[in-house]
């Protein structure tokens, strides 16, 4: 029987939480694409994923504004096992404060070699999705805890400094 | 962030992206190198070390995690390990959410399990109907060709007994003692 677990997500499953071992596959996918196609190929993959696969979410954000962004991230992390996250709405932005990244946590617990660029994926993917929705996105921190900011253009966020995103370490 | 809740959705999207960028060979390499040898290395290590017992440990855990409603059965008999998938959680997710970018999502299983079994000394009999039902039989390499009769290994749990095993218009893909995703029977 199909039981939508998270109505604020465009895709729903019959179980309330995802299977954490899939983080292994995401990490391995990054390693494969980086090895075969280089950093530029990996960035292109994430940007096209953001504009393509996530198009339904981007439309929700475009239509619903920052309230839709906040609802989405609350529902998203509620379905990710092991996450500790706070989503804060402000007049011109939404901050997603990730205290415990569920992916980094599970990869470490499983003894996996984490792709050092892993945390950058949230920026490349998130900024492509934000841009499609008429927003801007910035990321700081990484390596297990970080802060995503989705903002209106009027917020005037400073350009992203990729050096502000930490490399993932064992 | 790329999540695990909707993993099957972006995983399936990725097959299509890789094929557009690097052709079918890149998708095959992805299943083998990224999924079989990297992501699922715990399965590979278990099965290479323990054979059928390792398969039972791996799929007993993984399928229970992905499919808490237990839409599958596992059967072990001398010389054969069988899975009957009555309600694939992965394909089911795609069907329920109307997601399809790649031409045959179900091929990914043979794409990563096939090389793992070949390197572990096993061959695979397999059929999938693209609707969330499939069956697998693993036997030591060198087993006699041909599929088991319906019900012969898993009795009443044999997925081929389901009334919707061959829905009208469905395409059944079949493998006989195979380990290559492109080794479908004509």
Domain boundaries, chain B: 7-178
pLDDT of amino acid A3: 40
Which chain B residue shows the shortest CA-CA distance from A2? B96
Average pLDDT over residues B155-175: 94
Encode pLDDT of B36-89 as tens digits. Answer: 999 999 999 999 999 999 999 999 877 666 665 678 999 999 999 999 999 999
ipTM: 0.94
A44 assigned to some structural domain: yes
- Strands A145-151 and A93-100, bridge-based pairing: antiparallel
A140 assigned to some structural domain: yes
The span from the CA of B124 to the CA of B38, in Å, is 21
Which chain A residue shows the shortest CA-CA distance from B4? A18
CA dihedral B14, B18, B21, B23 (to 10 degrees): -150
A151 three-class SS? strand
- Contact call for B7 and A12, based on CB within 8 A: no
Above 60 in pLDDT, residue A4? no
Q: How far is CA B102 from CA A86, A135, B133, in A?
A: 35, 30, 18
Name residues whose C-beta falls within 8 Å of residue B4's C-beta, 6 or more positions apart in sequence.
Answer: A18, A19, A20, A21, A22, A23, A26, A80, A81, A102, A103
Above 90 in pLDDT, residue B26? yes
The span from the CA of B18 to the CA of B144, in Å, is 36
What confidence category does residue A170 fall into, taking pLDDT thresholds of 50, 70 and 90?
confident
Instruction: Provide the domain limits for residue A38.
Output: 22-164
The span from the CA of B12 to the CA of B109, in Å, is 12
Residue-averaged pLDDT of chain B: 94
Tokens at residue A138, please?
A: 């910035």
Tokens at residue A157, please?
A: 């966020």
- Strands A136-142 and B80-85, bridge-based pairing: unpaired
Shortest CA distance to B39 belongs to which of A56, A117, A20, A149? A20
Tokens at residue B9, please?
A: 């959705």
Q: How far is CA A21 from CA B8, B69, B119, B156, B160, in A?
A: 12, 18, 23, 31, 30
B41 three-class SS? helix
Q: Report the gap between the CA of A21 and the closest CA in chain B (Å).
A: 8
Residue-averaged pLDDT of chain A: 94
pLDDT of amino acid B75: 94
Interface of B with A (CB under 8 A): 1-7, 9-11, 13-14, 17, 21-22, 26, 29-30, 33-35, 38-40, 42, 62, 65-66, 68-69, 89, 92-93, 96-97, 99, 101
* A·B CB contacts under 8 A: 114
- pTM across the whole model: 0.94
Above 50 in pLDDT, residue B121? yes
Tokens at residue B179, please?
A: 């380990």
Split into its structural domains, chain A has a count of 1
Strongest mean pLDDT among A39-43, B86-90, B166-170: A39-43
For tokens 């996918």, name the residue.
A29
Encode pLDDT of A117-168 as tens digits. Answer: 999 999 999 999 999 999 999 999 999 999 999 999 999 999 999 998 999 9
Q: Does domain B7-178 have CATH number 3.30.1380?
A: yes
A69 assigned to some structural domain: yes
Backbone angles phi, psi at A61, to 5 degrees: -70, -40
pLDDT of amino acid A5: 45
Backbone angles phi, psi at B181, to 5 degrees: -60, -20
Lowest mean pLDDT among A5-9, A52-56, A71-75: A5-9
Average pLDDT over residues B150-157: 96
Q: Among the residues of A82-160, which ranges form H helices?
A: 102-109, 120-132
- Contact call for B7 and A2, based on CB within 8 A: no
Whether A40 and B8 have beta carbons less than 8 Å apart is answered as no
A110 assigned to some structural domain: yes
A141 assigned to some structural domain: yes
E-state strands within chain A: 84-90, 93-100, 136-142, 145-151
pLDDT of amino acid B169: 87
pLDDT of amino acid B170: 87
């Amino acid at each position: 029987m199909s039981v939508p677990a998270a109505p604020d997500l465009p895709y729903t499953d019959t179980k309330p939480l995802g299977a954490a071992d899939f983080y292994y596959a995401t990490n391995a996918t990054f390693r494969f694409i980086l090895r075969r196609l280089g950093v530029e190929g990996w960035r292109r993959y994430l940007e096209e994923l953001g504009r393509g696969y996530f198009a339904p979410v981007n439309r929700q954000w475009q239509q619903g504004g920052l309230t839709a962004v906040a609802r989405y991230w609350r529902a998203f992390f509620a379905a990710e096992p092991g996450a500790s996250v706070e989503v804060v709405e402000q007049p011109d932005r939404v901050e997603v404060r990730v205290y415990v990244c569920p992916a980094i946590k599970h990869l470490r617990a499983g003894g996996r070699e984490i792709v050092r660029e892993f945390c950058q994926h949230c920026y490349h993917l998130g900024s492509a999705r934000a841009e499609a929705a008429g927003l801007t996105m910035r990321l700081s921190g990484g390596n297990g805890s970080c802060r995503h900011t989705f903002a209106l253009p009027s917020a005037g966020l400073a350009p992203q400094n990729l050096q502000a995103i930490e490399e993932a370490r064992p | 962030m790329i999540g695990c809740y909707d993993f099957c959705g972006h995983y399936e999207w990725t097959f299509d992206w890789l094929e557009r960028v690097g052709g079918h060979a890149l998708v095959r390499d992805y299943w083998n190198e990224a999924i079989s040898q990297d992501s699922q290395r715990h399965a590979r290590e278990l099965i290479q070390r323990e054979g059928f017992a390792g398969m039972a440990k791996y799929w007993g855990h993984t399928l229970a995690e992905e499919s808490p409603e237990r839409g599958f059965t596992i059967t072990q008999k001398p010389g054969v390990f069988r899975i009957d998938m009555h309600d694939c959680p992965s394909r089911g997710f795609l069907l329920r959410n109307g997601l399809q970018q790649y031409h045959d999502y179900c091929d990914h299983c043979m794409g990563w399990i096939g090389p793992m079994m070949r390197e572990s000394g096993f061959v695979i009999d397999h059929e999938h109907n693209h609707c969330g039902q499939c069956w697998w039989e693993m036997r030591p390499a060198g087993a006699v060709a041909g599929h088991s009769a319906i019900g012969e290994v898993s009795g009443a749990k044999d997925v081929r007994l389901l009334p919707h095993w061959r829905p009208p218009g469905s395409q059944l893909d079949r493998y006989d003692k195979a380990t290559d995703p492109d080794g479908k029977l004509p």
